[in-house]
Amino acid sequence: MAQMKKSENVPQAMQEKYQAIIELTDSFANEHLNKECAQLIRFLTAALCRKRPSPLDKGKANTWACGIIHAIGTVNFLFDKSQKSHLPSSELYKHFGISESTGQGKSKLIRNMLNMGPFDPNWTLPSKMASNPLVWILSVNGMMVDIRSMPREAQEIAFEKGLIPYIPGD
């Protein structure tokens, strides 16, 4: 799976909504998450702003902020107590003053719209990339292989084609 290019570029018509949402998400991330997660949340917000028509055009900023954080959290297992860094989803909903069903509904809408799922390489936190199996499993000559176990030449080809985010060992 090729990595998509991430950007914070937003159409002029969506700038105000983008700013309103990222003020909320950045504040939450600074308090409960980290800079790495805040950056990925900004990328997702910008991607949603670039959709035509943008789903963010309708609805409240706090509802979208919660849904966006929940979507990123779902991909990265943020709500799993067994993870070193985790957060109860109820704390997220409470912070944004919305119900669980509303937060989960926005998150599901976002994940469906962008085909996001657990371990999605496009929305995995960079610090979790090395342990994400979907990043490294590729089809080589019709066989599924972990590219990290292949010769460096194969890894370089996969990297040049954008199939992996970096060459393991570099």
In the chain, the domains with their CATH numbers are 12-120 (1.10.472), 132-170 (no CATH)
CA distance 27 to 33: 10
What is the model's pLDDT at position 81?
Answer: 83
Taking all residues of the chain, what is their mean pLDDT, rounded to a whole number?
90
Q: What's the pLDDT at 162?
A: 85
Inter-residue contact 69 to 27 (CB < 8 Å): no
Of 146, 126, 122, the closest CA to residue 136 belongs to 146
The per-residue pLDDT for 3 is 57
Q: What is the pLDDT of residue 8?
A: 87
The tokens describing 160, both together, are 């040049």
Cα separation, 71 vs 50, whole angstroms: 17
Q: Is the pLDDT of residue 86 over 90?
A: no
The residue to which tokens 């109860």 are assigned = 88
pLDDT of 169 strictly over 80: no
Q: Which range, 16-30, 84-98, 124-138, 154-168, is most confident?
A: 16-30
Task: Specify the amino acid at residue 39.
Answer: Q
pLDDT band at 113 (very low <50, low <70, confident <90, very high): very high
Residues 6+ apart with CB under 8 A from 66: 92, 93, 95, 96, 98, 102, 103, 106, 107
pTM, 2 dp: 0.85
Return phi, psi of residue 137, to 5°: -85, 120
